[in-house]
Structures are given as C-alpha cells and as structure tokens.
C-alpha cells in the first residue's frame, strides 16, 4: 500500500491502551472533553480503517483517539503489526499506556465486583498476570506510560491534560516531576534521580513550613555547594540522551526527581531544571510536584 501523509489530521492519532482497571475510560473521556473524536474498544483492523478514514481529505474530524485493550486479541490482526502499518502509511500514532500496581488493580476490580477479561476460571491475580504478558510488547513501544496507582480520577485527568496539552509542533514534551521516596518511586519515569544527598531544609526550623517553590527554601537548596554542579551534570547527561531518544522516536519524556518527602529539595531542583530546559526551542517543558501537598 502506498504511503500516506498527514494531510488532514491536525495531530498524530492517539492510541490509548493499557491494563484493565487502570483508567482507560477516564483517559478517553479527557480526550473527548478536549474535542477529540474517540472510538472505544477497537480491534487492530478497525484501528487501521478508522485512522485512514480520519486522515482522508473529506474527514469531519481533525483529532482522533482510539481506545483498545486486551480484548482486541480475540479479533484477527496483531497490535504490533497494526502499529507498523500505521507508521508505513505516515500515520504513526502517539501511544498512551495506562498501568497500575497489581494490588491496586485487584482492589478496583473487587470494588465494582467485576471479573477480569483474562481471568477465566482462575484467580483475579492470574488474570492480571496474563494481561501483563500479553501487553508487555506494546507497553515497551509506548510514548507515554502513566502509573495510575496513586491517582484519583481528577488527578489522572490533570496528568493527561498536563502531558497532552496543545501540541501541534515538533517539540519534544518533557515533564519534570518532583516526588517523595516515602510515597513510592514513580513507575512511569524515563529518568529518576535522587537528591537526598543535599542538606534537608526540613531540619531548619525556619524553613520547615515552606516548600521548594518558596524563595527561602529554593535559595537554601540551590545555594548548597553541590546543588549547581548536580544541575549542570544532569543537564549534560540529559543532552547526551537526546539523540538516542530522537532515533527511537520518543517524543514524550518524564524526569522524576526525588527527596524524602517531596516537599523541599526535589521541588526546588525540579523547578530549577524545568527553568533551564524551558529556554530550549526544541522542548515543551511542564513541571509538576506529585507529593508537595502530602504529609
């Protein structure tokens, strides 16, 4: 089949997939609310057809998101083959993969008293394990992986809106997020760094009530002897990785910066790195603080 160009779609097609119970319906609703045409539960062959229809010159839509999950395996066609075909047609999709810890997925299924689509006569845990095996390759191919384990519906909406804001240019999207190790390491990071080697403002009574977004804490953290060399070294490492990411077609990156509680050091360093990266014409940078409001 002859290659096609994106002569109609304003943005690449969005493919939303991931673990059952991880929030696919919520993600789909976010895109619908942002005026995307969203099609649910599509097998590979229909994804190919819909993408071609939406890219046609007389198409009534300019942005399309397609939701598919493990149930698509029942139909003819292979997800990875479908992705290669879309790329060959010039319709390379952005893949959003939603994930969550097994214990969280089990709790969510139990709360709605549903069985897992791959559970059969076995336990819920075995159904989830089977699904992870089936989806492992497409997860590896994803542009963005969001771990929804600790996200409410509203949190997930915000994360998607932050990640997939207006993006009609060719810039790489970088999310710099701070976090606290005591609340768990983010599972959706491309790069994770630990800034607990810096002195903790928490032990300064006059700084404890503030956060890393406040000037007194930011000045304290960034004024430490090792802070600026760390930021410079990180940016050098970040730059050294960009050619490889471009070669792999990775247009979305998440950098996670952690300290103990996610209130002071990681926040100040994330803000500084975000500020340094924001000056680059080839990057669209967003800074978020996962745990800044948590105890």
pLDDT band, residue 6 (cuts 50/70/90) = very low
Sheet holding 14-18, edge to edge: 37-39, 64-67, 14-18, 94-99, 144-147
Alpha helices per DSSP H over 185-226? 215-222
Quote the tokens at residue 204.
């300064």
CA dihedral 14, 19, 25, 27 (to 10 degrees): -50
pLDDT band, residue 81 (cuts 50/70/90) = confident
Instruction: Answer yes or no: is pLDDT of 168 > 60.
Output: no
The predicted pLDDT at position 169 comes to 54
Mode of pairing for the β-strands spanning 172-180 and 64-67: unpaired
Quote the tokens at residue 277.
């990266």
Question: 178 has which bridge partners?
Answer: 257, 289
Quote the tokens at residue 7.
């002569």
Q: What stretch of H or E contains 129?
A: helix 124-140
The answer for residues whose C-beta is within 8 angstroms of residue 70's C-beta and 6 or more apart is 20, 117, 118, 131, 134, 135
Cα Rg of the chain (Å, integer) = 21
Rounded to 5°, angle at Cα 135 from 179 and 74: 145
pLDDT band, residue 170 (cuts 50/70/90) = low
Instruction: Answer yes or no: is pLDDT of 117 > 70.
Output: yes
- Indicate the range of 93-102, 160-169, 257-266 predicted with least confidence: 160-169
- Indicate the range of 45-49, 76-80, 131-135, 185-189 predicted with least confidence: 76-80
How many Cα atoms are found within 13 Å in the side-chain-facing hemisphere of 244?
A: 7
Q: What Å distances lie between residue 225 and 157, 195, 197, 219, 228, CA to CA?
A: 39, 13, 11, 12, 7
Binding site for GTP, by residue number, is: 69-72
Binding site, by residue number, is: 69-72
Instruction: Answer yes or no: is pLDDT of 3 > 50.
Output: no
Instruction: Answer yes or no: is pLDDT of 1 > 70.
Output: no
Q: For all residues of the chain together, what is the average pLDDT?
A: 89
Instruction: Answer yes or no: is pLDDT of 281 > 80.
Output: yes
């Amino acid at each position: 089949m002859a290659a096609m160009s994106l002569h109609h779609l304003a943005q690449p097609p969005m493919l939303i997939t991931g673990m059952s119970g991880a929030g696919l319906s919520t993600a789909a609703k976010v895109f619908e609310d942002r005026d995307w045409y969203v099609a649910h539960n599509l097998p590979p062959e229909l994804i190919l057809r819909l993408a071609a229809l939406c890219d046609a010159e007389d198409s009534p839509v300019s942005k399309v998101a397609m939701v598919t999950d493990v149930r698509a395996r029942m139909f003819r066609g292979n997800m990875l083959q479908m992705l290669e075909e879309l790329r060959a047609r010039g319709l390379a999709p952005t893949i959003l993969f939603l994930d969550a810890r097994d214990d969280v997925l089990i709790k969510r299924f139990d709360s709605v008293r549903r069985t897992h689509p791959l559970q059969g006569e076995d336990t819920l845990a075995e159904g989830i394990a089977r699904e992870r095996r089936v989806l492992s390759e497409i997860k590896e191919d994803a542009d963005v992986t969001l771990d929804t384990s600790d996200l409410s519906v509203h949190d997930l909406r915000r994360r998607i809106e932050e990640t997939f804001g207006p993006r009609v240019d060719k810039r790489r999207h970088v999310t710099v997020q701070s976090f606290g190790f005591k609340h768990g390491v983010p599972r959706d990071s491309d790069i994770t760094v630990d800034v607990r080697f810096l002195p903790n403002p928490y032990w300064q009574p006059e700084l404890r009530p503030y956060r890393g977004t406040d000037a007194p804490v930011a000045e304290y953290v960034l004024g430490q002897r090792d802070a600026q060399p760390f930021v410079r070294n990180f940016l050098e490492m970040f730059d050294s990785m960009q050619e490889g990411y471009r070669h792999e077609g990775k247009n979305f990156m998440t950098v996670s910066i952690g300290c103990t509680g996610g209130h002071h050091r990681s926040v100040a360093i994330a803000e500084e790195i975000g500020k340094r990266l924001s000056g680059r014409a080839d990057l669209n940078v967003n800074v978020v603080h996962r745990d800044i409001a948590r105890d």
